[in-house]
Amino acid sequence: MHALAAAVAAQGRWMLVAGLVVGLASPAAAQMVRPHVGVLVIAVLFLAILRIGPAGLRPGRAALVRALTAALLFQLLLPMAVAASFMAAGLLADPLALAVVLILAAAPITGAAPIVAMTGGNPGPALHQTVIGTALLPLTVLPVFALAPAFGDAGAVLGTASRLLAVVGLAGGAAFVLRRTGIVPGTARALTVVDALSAVLLGLVVIGLMSAAAAALREAPAMLAATLALVSALCFGLQGATARLWPHAPDAAPFAVTTGNRNVALFLGVLPAALTDDLMLAIGCYQIPMYLTPLVLPRLLAWRARAGRC
């Protein structure tokens, strides 16, 4: 059993690729998993906290300052600047422009820590960034939504973010107790099983989020290709810039993941229905570069290492 878990954990990044392929190739599978994505995401978050353990949940002062700075920079200032630029160009009403602003305004995905682990990086800072970004979301989203009235009532987003923060707290508390009491030990054998479970659950999440992209693949392939190119440039561009420029080298991997991979699906339940329909293709396509991150990010980090030797 442990050998199977070790094999799955070692190939975790390919589980995400398999999820993308299944979700695009089988709309029926995507539709079947889609209603359960919320529960699966919570389970992934629980496993991420379980893997890190009590010690990893306590950031030092410097790490906390870095996380707060990143949240304000990427979650507030960047989307406001982009929204203002689109507004000045008369493009803010375009669905793709709104999708870009919405992605930038979201907190990091709850699966950020396991994705960092798949790249060989330290998942702790990614988890801290997820928690802090989610905690600040009720504050950071207000000025962004004020610039783009098409997003509707920011009050609904506040309620959703608060509920998500409560779920993070419950998942964290349960994982903390399991590690603290030794029910789940911090041994390499136990953590391998956690990594394998995380990979399988993330693969299922990917399948469930591919429903809109799978439909577009058959009905509007040109639009799918253009939208995928845009969101891929956004996702990998943010990761590449962070991996290259982040001043604290050990945090380059976790902050690259959290900067480029945002929990935009959080907004689906609170946006106006007509707008959600327009944004679903972009949100679905955005999952593709997100879950290819474990394959792409190591190359971006190698670019940073080569530049540092020059």
- Going by pLDDT thresholds of 50, 70 and 90, the confidence category of residue 1 is low
Question: pTM for the complete prediction?
Answer: 0.79
Of 175, 203, 179, nearest to 46 by C-alpha is: 175
- Going by pLDDT thresholds of 50, 70 and 90, the confidence category of residue 305 is low
Q: Which residue is associated with the tokens 């030990």? A: 185
Q: Which residues pair with 35 in a beta bridge?
A: none
The share of the chain scoring above pLDDT 70, in percent, equals 88
Chain centroid offset of residue 22 CA: 20
Amino acid letter, 79:
P
**Structural tokens at position 226:** 């253009």
What is the average pLDDT value for the chain, to the nearest integer? 82
Provide DSSP, 129-176.
HHHHHHHHHHHHHHHHHHH-GGG--HHHHHHHHHHHHHHHHHHHHHHH
Give CA–CA dist 155/224, Å, rounded. Answer: 32
- pLDDT tens digits for 178-225? 888 888 887 878 878 888 888 888 888 888 878 777 777 788 888 889
Give CA–CA dist 259/115, Å, rounded. Answer: 13
Q: With contact defined as beta carbons under 8 Å apart, do 76 and 230 qualify?
A: no
- Going by pLDDT thresholds of 50, 70 and 90, the confidence category of residue 40 is confident
User: Hey, which bits of the chain come out as E strands?
Assistant: none
Phi, psi of 220, rounded to the nearest 5 degrees: -145, 65
CATH topology of domain 2-309: Na+/H+ antiporter like fold (1.20.1530)
Candidate ranges 205-219, 244-258, 275-289; pick with highest mean pLDDT: 244-258
Task: Map out the domains of the chain as residue ranges.
Answer: 2-309
3-state secondary structure at position 1: coil
- pLDDT tens digits for 61-91? 777 888 899 899 999 999 999 999 999 999 9
